Amino acid sequence: MSAKTDIKRLDQRPMHEAVLSKNKFRILGLSMDQIIHYFFFGNAWIAILVLGLITFSLFREGLGFFPQNYENLQMYRQCGLEFVDIIKDQAEAHSALTQYLDKMLDRKNGELRKGGMDEGKIAEATAPLAQFRKDFDESSIPLQDFVRELTQQAAAVKERWGVAKENSIAREQYLKAGSKDEAAKLEVETVDFRKESEALKAQIPRLVEINQTLKKRLGLLLLEFPASDDPKLKSQAVHFKAAAGKYINAFPDTERKLANWSYDTTIPVHETLTRFLFGPQWVTQSFWQDWYGMVPLFVGSLAVSVVALVIAVPLGVGAAVYINQVANIHEQNLIKPFIEFIAVIPSVVLGFFGVAILGTAIRDFSNGILFDPAWVAHLPAFIQWLPSGLNAAARTLTSWVPFFPISERLNIITAGILLALMGVPAIFTFSEDALNNVPKSYKEASFALGANRLQTILRILIPASLSGIISAVLLGFGRVIGETMVVLLCAGNRIQIPDFTQGLGFIFQPVHTMTGLVAQEIPEVVKNSLQYRALFMLAIMLFLISLLINYIAQVFVRKFKISVG
């Protein structure tokens, strides 16, 4: 009887008894709640451990880059490649001036062509400038020949050093494997860098001589610069003459640099890091010199991401404000799942769309083609006027855009538009959260003061949730800069800093990105080579960038919480 009274109804038992009463059985001496405890505990720690291991191996592979790159840089100096590059710089300055003349010619030709002049007349009109361009270009031939000669000389030294190094590695490896005969067969030459550098330096007087002749020749040539009454050409001529003067005056500097150059000046250790972070060139598998400077790739990633954000932020934030404040329940139920659906489209599908359709469409539009002329020709005659009329309208419209028509269909804007699409869901969701977090009383107070809905949104809700929106944008930025497939397929993969002198037109240039390059080359590169390590360094930089973006976003979120309280 007493036992029966002990059984209480569920609602009469204390809470912990009600929840835990069934945990009677044990596995390996652990009760159910202990198992659950260890399960979650274990999972949390495994996640942290895996993350730690990934980070560790990333850094272990990547940091090997620095000693290897140091050797790479040292050989650049010791083999005399640096010496030759000083002269190359001068030759390149000459070509840059020639290219400036090309631009002047191009512009003038284009103008005359637009004016309806026929080709023969155009050639006649620009003949003096074309002749000057030719003379100016040819004046550099002795210099170029000299550069070519020295290039071969220095490259030969580097090649000998390379062979010697390879042989010494091979010999070591044979010795380790115990085959002495094989090892003895390999001769390892010791390259005498001092002797080789002296041979290079002995060439300085020849350059001085070449420069003297060149200076005289250019002095006379510049006096003959063809006069023109075109004001634009006139101002360009003034600019050219100033630049040419500067170029000629820099000859002694070049000669001094060469005289002061020495093969055995030590390279500061930090240079291997600074050259990676701020180097303007990424050149690999070169017969001359490999450069691992991440600037062009970083600028590429940044350019694509910024373009994507410029498109995605207004869309994402705007949609969030609308859904949160204006839309009725039916619209909410329709729009929200749609935007969230964008997030689940595989990026390779978007990339494929970019390659197959979007890129070509943008280029065709820049050429004034809305409808494919071949397709238009197939249409029945009575309807053809519409598409061809629209084509003509597009041509008129786009002819006013300075950087149109474009020739590359894979470029920043193609990748940017698709990345924007991927960024919108993140920005939308986080922005909406931020708007939801604004206390209702703010809105009610605003309405009570007689403000209308638009005023409330613009003056109260958006400012109150601004830090949340900023962190939403930052998280979208993080999403976009780490995206790989779309940029690999659609950004054009050109490792060069875009030409920003075109202004906004830079968005129609191809770039390569940090993620794209790593994805493209890591499966193919020789393991443990310098290039392999450099790719790991890029991965580390991406890792750090994401970390920084997330950190900043969290700072904003924290700030936001204070503003609500």
Partner 1 sequence: MKKSILSLILASLALLPAVKAEKLVLKGSDTLGAKLVPQLAEAYRAQHPGVTFEIAAEGSTTGIAAIIDGTADIGMSSRRAKPTEVATAGANGVKMFPTVVAWDGIGVIVNTSNSISALSKRQVEQIFTGEVTDWSAVGGKAGKISIYTRNTASGTYADFKELAMSKHDYAGSAQKMAGNEQIAAEVGKNPSGIGYVGMAYLKAPGIKAVSVDGGLPTQASVQSHSYPLARPTFFYTKGAPTGLVADFIHFVLGADGSKIVDQVGFVPMK
Residues that bind partner 1 (CB under 8 A): 95, 99, 102, 106, 109, 155, 163, 166-167, 169-170, 173-174, 176-177, 182, 281, 283-288, 360, 407-410, 492-496, 510, 512, 520-521, 523-527, 531
- Residue 240 CB, shortest distance to partner 1, in Å, is 18
Q: Residue 282, Cβ neighbours under 10 Å: how many?
A: 21
Closer residue to partner 1 in complex, CB, 27/526 = 526
- Residue 178 CB, shortest distance to partner 1, in Å, is 11
Closer residue to partner 1 in complex, CB, 147/470 = 147
- Residue 21 CB, shortest distance to partner 1, in Å, is 36
Closer residue to partner 1 in complex, CB, 89/408 = 408
- Residue 88 CB, shortest distance to partner 1, in Å, is 12
In terms of C-beta density within 10 A (0-12 exposed, 13-18 middle, 19 or more buried), how is residue 248 classed? middle
Closer residue to partner 1 in complex, CB, 332/360 = 360
User: Which three-class secondary structure string do you get for 364-428?
Assistant: HHHCCCCCCHHHHHHCCHHHHHHHHHHHHHHHHHHHCCCCCCCCCCCCHHHHHHHHHHHHHHHHH
How far apart CA 559 and CA 550 sit, in angstroms, is 14
Closer residue to partner 1 in complex, CB, 95/396 = 95
Closer residue to partner 1 in complex, CB, 103/558 = 103
Closer residue to partner 1 in complex, CB, 177/548 = 177
How far apart CA 416 and CA 400 sit, in angstroms, is 23
- Residue 36 CB, shortest distance to partner 1, in Å, is 32
- Residue 520 CB, shortest distance to partner 1, in Å, is 5
Closer residue to partner 1 in complex, CB, 158/479 = 158
| Residue of 317, 346, 347 lying closest to 430 (CA atoms) | 317
- Residue 24 CB, shortest distance to partner 1, in Å, is 29
How far apart CA 239 and CA 252 sit, in angstroms, is 22
- Residue 139 CB, shortest distance to partner 1, in Å, is 16
- Residue 255 CB, shortest distance to partner 1, in Å, is 25
Closer residue to partner 1 in complex, CB, 332/520 = 520
In terms of C-beta density within 10 A (0-12 exposed, 13-18 middle, 19 or more buried), how is residue 503 classed? exposed
Q: What is the CA radius of gyration of the chain?
A: 34
Q: How far is CA 437 from CA 187, 323, 441, 445, in A?
A: 74, 14, 11, 16
- Contact between residue 504 and residue 332 where contact means Cβ atoms under 8 Å apart: no
DSSP H helical ranges for 224-328? 231-249, 251-260, 271-278, 295-321
Q: What is the DSSP letter of 511?
A: B
How far apart CA 184 and CA 323 sit, in angstroms, is 78
Q: Is 318 helix (H, G, I), strand (E, B) or coil?
A: helix
